[in-house]
Amino acid sequence: MNKSIMIVGVGGQGTLLASRILGNLAISLGYDVKVSEVHGMSQRGGSVTTYCKYGDKIYSPLIDKGEADIILAFEALEAYRALPYLKKDTGVMVINITEIDPMPVITGQMEYPKDIIKKIKEKAKVIELDSTKIASELGNPRCANVVLIGAFAKNLDIPYENWIEVIKNTVPNKFIELNINAFERGINS
Amino acid sequence: MKKLMLGNEAVARGCFEAGVRLVSSYPGTPSTEITETIVKYDDIYCEWAPNEKVAAETAIGASIAGARSMACMKHVGLNVMADPLFTVSYTGVNGGLVFAVADDPGMHSSQNEQDSRHYAKAAKILMLEPSDSMEAKAFTKKAFELSEKYDVPVILRLSTRVSHSQSLVEIEERENIELKPYIKDSSKYVMMPGNAIKRHKIVEEREKALKEYVESTELNVIECNNSKIGVITSGISYLYAHEALGNQVNYFKLGVAYPLPIESIRNFTKGLEKVFVIEELDPFIEEHCKMNGIDVIGKDVFTLLYEYTPQMIKKAVLGIEPPSHFELDEAIPNRPPVMCAGCPHRGTFYVLKKLGLTVSGDIGCYTLGATRPIEAVDTVICMGASIGAAHGMAKVRGSEFNEKLVAVIGDSTFVHSGITGLIDVVYNKGITTVIILDNSITGMTGHQDNPTTGYTIRKEETKQLNLITLAKSIGIENISVVDPFDLINLEKVIKEEVKKCEPSLIIASRPCALLKTVKYTGHAVITDKCKKCKKCLGLGCPAISNKNGLIVIDKNQCNGCSLCLNVCPFKAISKVEE
Q: Return the domain boundaries, chain A.
A: 2-187
Provide, as residue numbers in chain B, all residues whose Cβ is less than 8 Å from the Cβ of A106: 373, 537, 540, 542, 544-546
Q: Is residue B338 part of a domain?
A: no
Closest CA to A53 of A28, A33, A82, A73: A33
Provide, as residue numbers in chain A, all residues whose Cβ is less than 8 Å from the Cβ of B4: 20, 23-24, 27, 33, 35
- What pairs with residue A35 in β-bridges? A52, B166
Looking up residue B239, the CATH number of its domain turns out to be: 3.40.50.920
Q: Is residue B541 part of a domain?
A: yes
Least CA distance to B552: which residue of chain A?
A106
Nearest to B338 among A67, A103, A113 (CB): A103
Q: How many residues does chain A have?
A: 189
Q: Is residue B76 part of a domain?
A: yes
Q: Is residue B110 part of a domain?
A: yes
A109·B372 Cβ contact <8 A: yes
Looking up residue B423, the CATH number of its domain turns out to be: 3.40.50.970
pLDDT tens-place values along chain B, 578 residues long: 889 999 999 999 999 999 999 999 999 999 999 999 999 999 999 999 999 999 999 999 999 999 999 999 999 999 999 999 999 999 999 999 999 999 999 999 999 999 999 999 999 999 999 999 999 999 999 999 999 999 999 999 999 999 999 999 999 999 999 999 999 999 999 999 999 999 999 999 999 999 999 999 999 999 999 999 999 999 999 999 999 999 999 999 999 999 999 999 999 999 999 999 999 999 999 999 999 999 999 999 999 999 999 999 999 999 999 999 999 999 999 999 999 999 999 999 999 999 999 999 999 999 999 999 999 999 999 999 999 999 999 999 998 999 999 999 999 999 999 999 999 999 999 999 999 999 999 999 989 999 999 999 999 999 999 999 999 999 999 999 999 999 999 999 999 999 999 999 999 999 999 999 999 999 999 999 999 999 999 999 999 998 888 999 998 889 999 999 999 999 999 999 97
Q: How far is the C-alpha of B562 from the C-alpha of B225, rounded, in Å?
A: 64
Q: Please, what is the end-to-end C-alpha distance for chain B in angstroms?
A: 48
Instruction: Decide: pTM greater than 0.95.
Output: yes
Nearest to B165 among A61, A66, A112 (CB): A61
Instruction: Using a CB–CB cutoff of 8 Å, tell me whether A117 touches chain B.
Output: no
B152 and B286 share one domain: no
A39·B109 Cβ contact <8 A: yes
Contact B63, B95 (CB under 8 A): yes
Q: How far, in whole angstroms, is CA B352 from its chain's centroid?
A: 27
A45·B4 Cβ contact <8 A: no
B203 and B228 share one domain: no
Residues A93-108 have pLDDT tens digits of 999 999 999 999 998 8
CATH superfamily of A2-187: Pyruvate-ferredoxin oxidoreductase, PFOR, domain III (3.40.920.10)
B285 and B152 share one domain: no
Q: Which of residues 119-138 of A touch B (CB under 8 A)?
A: 119, 123-124, 132, 136
Closest CA to A51 of A75, A70, A30: A70
Nearest to B168 among A32, A78, A123 (CB): A32
Provide, as residue numbers in chain A, all residues whose Cβ is less than 8 Å from the Cβ of B444: 40-41, 44
Domain boundary among B152, B184, B216: B216
Q: How far is the C-alpha of A61 from the C-alpha of B52, rounded, in Å?
A: 29
Q: What is the interface size between A and B, counted as CB pairs within 8 Å?
A: 192
Using DSSP's 3-state secondary structure scheme, residue B492 falls into helix
B400 and B494 share one domain: yes
Contact B440, B512 (CB under 8 A): yes
Least CA distance to A84: which residue of chain B?
B326
B225 and B210 share one domain: no
Domain with B37 in it: 2-216
Domain boundary among B483, B509, B535: B509
B535 and B419 share one domain: no
Cα Rg of chain A, angstroms: 16
Q: How far is the C-alpha of A120 from the C-alpha of B318, rounded, in Å?
A: 33
CA angle A127, A164, B172 (to 5 degrees): 120
Q: How far is the C-alpha of B518 from the C-alpha of B426, rounded, in Å?
A: 35
Q: Specify the DSSP element, H or E, that contains A49.
A: strand A47-55
B367 and B401 share one domain: yes
Using DSSP's 3-state secondary structure scheme, residue A106 falls into helix
Q: Is pLDDT above 70 for A38?
A: yes
When scoring A17, A28, A37 by the number of chain B Cβ atoms within 10 A, the one with the most, hence best to mutate, is A37
- Shortest distance between the Cα of B28 and any Cα of chain A, in A, equals 8
Provide, as residue numbers in chain B, all residues whose Cβ is less than 8 Å from the Cβ of A32: 167-168
- Shortest distance between the Cα of B397 and any Cα of chain A, in A, equals 33
B35 and B142 share one domain: yes
Provide, as residue numbers in chain B, all residues whose Cβ is less than 8 Å from the Cβ of A119: 329
B111 and B158 share one domain: yes
Q: What is the DSSP string of B395-415?
A: HHHHHHHHTTEEEEEEHHHII
Q: Is residue B570 part of a domain?
A: yes
Expressed in percent and rounded to 5, the helix, strand and coil fractions of chain A are 45, 20, 35
A103·B371 Cβ contact <8 A: yes
Single-letter residue type at B380 = V
Cα dist from B32 to A49, B97, B196, B544, whole Å: 19, 19, 34, 32
b/e per residue A76-103 (b: at least 16 CB within 10 A) = bbbbbbbbebbbeeebbbbbbbbbbbbb
Q: How far is the C-alpha of A46 from the C-alpha of B374, rounded, in Å?
A: 16
Q: What is the pLDDT of residue A41?
A: 67
B37 and B143 share one domain: yes
Domain boundary among B283, B318, B353: B318
Contact A69, A92 (CB under 8 A): yes
Domain count, chain B: 4
B208 and B180 share one domain: yes
B109·A104 Cβ contact <8 A: no
